[in-house]
Structure 1
Amino acid sequence: MAGRGEILADCPAARAVGVAPWVVSTHVDPRHLDVWWGEGIAEYISSLLPRRHLASAVAEAGKHTYTLRTLFDTTYANSDVSRTYDWGYLAARYMVEKHPADVSTVLGYYRAGDWTAARSFLTSLDYESDWNAWLTAVAAGA
């Protein structure tokens, strides 16, 4: 049976909007801190389809509720629907659009099952100032 990443990488919707296979080829393990990515990238891909707009995520962006670092620590146990999906989308979109090399790095760790290295890498990132400016721009319609 194909893994979740293989299925997503061959997803017609992802191909239709030009999302690179490296963006979607991962899987979510709820025991680890990759929920932000798995749920977020699913929302990101769906937002690229015609007539799909994530108004709730745009509204959330203006609230600046979570730091990017906090979102990297999202689990199903410590989040609600908004944090999992809206904020996961915002974190995934930000990372894909602003820091694709970092996405490649963390996905390499996720694929290898090296959760410690992934967490160490993510916690070493310091994009909070840029993240907040970006959230303001998204809330304004960017």
Structure 2
Amino acid sequence: FGHPTEKVVWWSEGIAEYIANEKDNQAALDTIRDGSTYTLSEVFETTYDGFDVDRIYRWGYLAVRFMFERHKDDVNQMLVETRQGNWSNYKATINQWANLYQSEFEQWQQSLVSGGAPNAVITANNEGKVGESITFSSENSTDTDGQIVSVLWDFGDGTASTQTQPTHQYGSEGQYTVSLTVTDNDGLTATA
């Protein structure tokens, strides 16, 4: 294991923070919320000279956690390169990650600080007769960090609705599985 010839502060400090905090690093989440974001490319170029604690530790942690959670095989390959002292391949690898994964990294960050996916809840009478109107409701569905912006009902008979309180009539006797998919203002979905 030779002396690194490329910047590895993001990895060395990020992995230490990840081991110490696992998925419970409130300080890192707070940096996302306060708007001080960095691209993967910027994080990978971090050194100890002239950079603040957030960039060195918090964003190093976020980059490491992202790569472990989403691209563990890539991390394993990068570690092979660094253990062999192949720093030019390491540099090419992290440059590739910066290009390939930036958009996903941004979406992943938002998923960490949002309240998560909404909760879809179906309210309806479980029994009815052929030709009888049955009222369904999504009104008990919730979103802890925003609001539900759309609903999609699948009545199990090939028909659907986007109303929050639709009525539906079944044309033939049988058992039908109804599903409700709700989408929140963060674009997250849940299905009941």
Fold shared, TM-score > 0.5 on shorter chain: yes
Contact 1:64 / 1:132 at 8 angstroms: preserved in 2?
Answer: no
Asked if structure 2 preserves the Cα contact closer than 8 Å seen for 1:74 and 1:84, the reply is yes
Equivalences, count = 113
In structure 1, runs of 5+ residues without a counterpart are 1-25
The residue identity in structure 1 corresponding to 2:31 is E
Alignment correspondent of 1:124: 96
SS in structure 1 at match of 2:79: helix
1:36-51 matches, cutoff 5 A:
36-48=10-22
- Alignment partner, residue 55 of structure 1: 26
In structure 2, C-alpha distance between the alignment counterparts of 1:65 and 1:27, rounded to whole Å: 32
Q: Which amino acid aligns with 2:20?
A: S
Could you say what the CA RMSD is over the residues aligned between the two structures, in angstroms? 2.3
Per-residue CA shift, 1:43-72, capped at 9, x if unaligned?
A: 011113xxx832110011232610112111
Deviation (angstroms), 1:141 = 5.3
TM alignment of 1:1-142, pairs within 5 A: 29=4, 32-48=6-22, 53-62=24-33, 63=35, 65-125=37-97, 126-140=100-114
Residue identity in the other structure for 1:60: T
TM-score, length basis structure 2 = 0.53
User: Is the 8 Å Cα contact of residues 2 and 85 (structure 2) preserved in structure 1?
Assistant: no
In 1, distance between residues paired with 2:2 and 2:72? 18
Higher relative contact order (CA 8 A, sep 6+): 1
* In 1: Cα distance, 2:81 partner to 2:57 partner: 22
- Structure exhibiting the larger radius of gyration computed from Cα positions: 2
Task: Give structure 2 stretches of 5+ with no counterpart.
Answer: 117-192
Matched AA of 1:76: Y
Report if aligned partners of 1:27, 1:38 keep a CA contact under 8 Å in 2: no
Normalized per residue, the structure richer in strand is 2
**In structure 2, do the counterparts of structure 1 residues 27 and 141 end up closer, same or farther at CA, with 3 Å as the change threshold?**
farther
TM-score (norm 1): 0.71
How much identity, in percent, do the aligned residues show?
A: 37
Q: 1:64 to 1:97 in 2, by over 3 A?
A: farther
Measured in 2, the distance between the counterparts of 1:119 and 1:69 equals: 11
Q: Report the CA distance between 1:115 and its aligned residue.
A: 1.4
